[in-house]
Amino acid sequence: MHNDNLTADRATFVTHLECSMTGERYEADRLHGLSRVGRPLLVRYDLPAAAKAMTRETLESRPADLWRYRELLPVRDKANIVSLGENATPLISLDRIAREAGATSLLVKDEGRLPTGSFKARGLVMAISMAKELGVTTLAMPTNGNAGAAAAAYATRAGIEAVIFCPDDTPEINVREIAAQGARVYRVNGLIDDCGKLVAAGAKARDWFDFSTLKEPYRIEGKKTMGLELAEQLGWQLPDVIFYPTGGGTGLIGMWKAFDELEAIGLIGSERPRMIAVQAEGCAPIVRAFDAGERHATRWEDAHTVAAGIRVPQAVGDFLILDAVRASGGFAIAVPDAAIVQAVEDAGRKDGMLLCPEGGATLAAWRIALADGRVSPDDRVLLFNCATGLKYPMADHSGTINRHGEIDWAAL
């Protein structure tokens, strides 16, 4: 059945939660925010037991959606799964762009096919399913656009009130879709971390649950499914290099966690991709910290870029991002806005692939890294397109025809 992953009874294997900085244990099945030292909590599982239940053969028999991996997901009761149809997203090859660069392989994982048109659906469907399971009635969060849209849709479906704060220059389509999907949305004269401060203040004043990135434990678990799904799609052989658009970095952290769990249950070996954190030159705190050899990233002042989704001046999970990048032998790279815009145009015109600006940033980063030798033409490279390009303004290259006049057909 197409919805077996949502309706079948399956064992759950969550054992506890753990502070990502100190390792302190926290009880599962209780509502948590950050750890005692103000760091993200990570969900831990009984992996030997999960290995017996989630085999390659078992997975092959299940519908191809996010919920096929329930043994490695935190929702206990299937009645609390809040779904809008989170199907597996495809891998699309950029053959012409790769060929022109002399490269062997260039794949894009197109996350724009998910509900609400972005990979934020993965994290928010899990976080809100757990919010439902744990009794949250009102949540609040900051957003640069797509996360707010996903939160609004899933919260409405779960019967949870959502209050969303976004920078006042957030793309108009995002602001309107947040409201259209049932949340209260407010434009703020500041950046996303300024919005986050308002969320924290509102949580104290109004008893909202703070749903900011990594301030609850379960968005990582949803984003983790990118790594689970990718491994399975590639026949349990991971790519050599992954370029990931990095703002809050939840997906990069989640994929790194997924690879460790997959190895522990015997589905992959010890090989890992080099993880590349991609930022914009106008907002690159992770790149600056990586280049300086720091484990934490200080706030980036005057943050600006056409890729709003990666305009995050300071990330609460900075050390987790940097740890994963360094452990993988990867690097952090900043790209100029002009290169982002050019990459989006090239992917559409040369390979018919409409990237969002953040996806364009990964293509721009690959081009720079290929040119300076940090990646090889023979590397198996994966880029992430994190949202449908249809949400973003596009240049008008159309011509006009007067149907009542003489038409110069040779010129068309």
Q: What is the pLDDT of residues 263-296, one digit of tens each?
A: 999 999 999 999 999 999 999 999 999 999 999 9
Predicted pLDDT of residue 395: 86
172 token code pair: 């108009």
**Whole-Å CA distances, 117 to 120, 121, 166, 192, 405:** 8, 8, 18, 20, 42
Q: pTM of the predicted model, to two decimals? A: 0.94
User: Which of the four pLDDT bands, split at 50, 70 and 90, describes residue 241?
Assistant: very high
Query: How confident is the model at residue 163, as a pLDDT?
Result: 97
Amino acid letter, residue 336: P
Confidence band, pLDDT 50/70/90 cuts, at residue 1: confident
Closest CA to 143 of 191, 180, 192, 190: 192
- Please state the rounded mean pLDDT for residues 291-308: 95
Q: What is the model's pLDDT at position 354?
A: 97
Q: Give the integer Cα–Cα distance in Å for 174 and 5.
A: 30
Mean pLDDT value of segment 208-215: 93
Mean pLDDT of the chain: 96
Mean pLDDT computed over 90-101:
98
Per-residue pLDDT of 103-158, as tens digits, reads 999 999 999 999 999 999 999 999 999 999 999 999 999 999 999 999 999 999 99
Whether residue 109 contacts residue 353, with contact meaning beta carbons closer than 8 Å, is answered with no
Contact residues for 60 (Cβ-Cβ < 8 A; gap 6+): none
146 closest CA partner among 166, 168, 169, 126: 166
